[in-house]
Structures are given as structure tokens and as C-alpha cells.
Amino acid sequence: MSDLEGKVAWITGAGSGIGLAGAQALAAAGVTVVMSGRRADVLRTEAAAIIAAGGKAEVEKLDVTDAEAATRVANAILARHGKVDILVNSAGMNIPNRFWKNVSTAGWTDVLRINLDGSFFCIAAILPSMRERKDGLIINISSWAGKFDTYMTGPAYNAAKHAVVAMTAHLNHEECVNGIRACALCPAEVSTPIMEKRPIPPSAEERAKMLQPDDLGRTIRFIAEMPAHTCINELIISPTWNRIFIGAV
């Protein structure tokens, strides 16, 4: 495993869930984490907690669906640190009315814009600097629904997360010659706030059996700690008790 001390990571969706857990795990490994999301107050609170625990954390408010804003944030980080070693695209969402019988055009667009376009905008903003340095790791948070046709997540989310996996594969196709590696991290159910958007939110007992945010934080750190000559192209992770296998909705 490599030493992450002194590296810089930009993490979207860092105010809660997988993004926050990734920021905490990387900061504990000595990474300076730049936390992005739409809720600056939440980000500041979580960044302060990381700093209080001895880590290094900064905040850059960002709506990932705004391509120009993504470029501004990327440029601001590069101006301060001169590099971004790790990009974690964790901003994501789903909607309650997610099935063909009730999904709206607006709902479809929101899911695609945040889960897919947002990742693309941040990658496009930081990729030239990674090419110049011949080094960089991009971790795109996809989903179990990005690898398998899962009913419970609906067509928009499935389409977006499948596309994230394909986009990640193309990064490795094109950028491996530039020392850049990308991983599509595909978790099954994780007990995060997105569960509250389910048509039938899972119970506390069910959520306790799911993957927990810290599990994904540890996974993100594991991927980041692999040496630069290795690439984990995809990583699929699920809870042992997998509700998807038993037809939950």
C-alpha cells in the first residue's frame, strides 16, 4: 500500500453519506480533503469535525450540475494546492416517483444531471491537470444498479449509474497512457439519507443490516492506497444480507 500523506482529494457529495465517509477516511490517512456539495453550512460543520480530529479539510460549495461552477472550483483548488491527486465523485440522488408508471420528465432529468452529468463536469474540469502531471485517481460512485438491472432503483437511476460505469471504463481506455486510473465503485444498499427518498423507506432494522457509510469510506481509502501502477477498474460491494436478492422495493 502507498502512503497518502500530502495528497489532495476533491470529494463531491461530501456533506453526508458515502462522500462524507470518504472524506473522513482519506483525511485520517493524511490527505487534504476538499469537500464539495450544495449545503455550505453542513460542509463547514463536517470539515470542522475532521480538523478537530487532526485532519486537513476545506470547503468548496458546488452544485455539480453547473459545469462552469465545477471548473471554477477545480481551478480554485489547483490555485491553492497545485494538484488534485484524487477525485471522488459521490454526489448523487434518486426520487420517490422513480418508476415508468410515475416518473416525470423533470424527475428523469434531475437524476441524470446529478448522477451522470455532475460526475462528467468534475472529471472534465480536473482531467487536464492530471494529464499534465501524468498522475491521478478518479473514483466514481456508481451502484449495484450500475451493473445489474435492479427494479427498486427505477429506470433513470439505473441508466445513470450504468452510464457512470461505462464512462469510467472509457477513462481507463484513454488515460492509462497518461498515468491516470479510474474506478467505478458499485455498492448495493448503503444506509445513507438517500434511503429516505425510497417509495417505501426501509425500517431501522433493515438499514442496520445494510452497508454503512464507514464501510464505503474504508473502501475508498483502500482504492486510493493501491500503488499507482495498479488500477481497480470496478469494485462491487454489498451487504451479506442483500435485500436486492429477495425482491425488496
All cell numbers assigned to 213: 457509510
The residue written with cell numbers 483548488 in the block is 77
All cell numbers assigned to 41: 453550512
CB-facing half-sphere around the CA of 113: CA atoms within 13 A: 12
Collect the ranges in the chain with pLDDT lower than 70. Answer: 1-2, 247-249
- The packing angle between helices 40-52 and 17-28, to 10°, is 30
Q: What pLDDT is attached to residue 1?
A: 52
Q: What pLDDT is attached to residue 77?
A: 98
Q: What pLDDT is attached to residue 249?
A: 55
- From CA 36, how far away is CA 101, in angstroms rounded? 34
Give tens-digit pLDDT for 114-128: 999 999 999 999 999
Catalytic residue among 157, 180, 182, 234: 157
Active-site annotation holds for 151: no
For residue 247, with 0-12 CB atoms within 10 Å meaning exposed, 13-18 middle and 19 or more buried, which class applies? exposed
Question: Options 3.40.50.720, 3.40.190.290, 1.10.10.60, 3.30.1330.10; which CATH number does 8-239 get?
Answer: 3.40.50.720
Count of beta carbons in the 10 Å neighbourhood of residue 101:
6
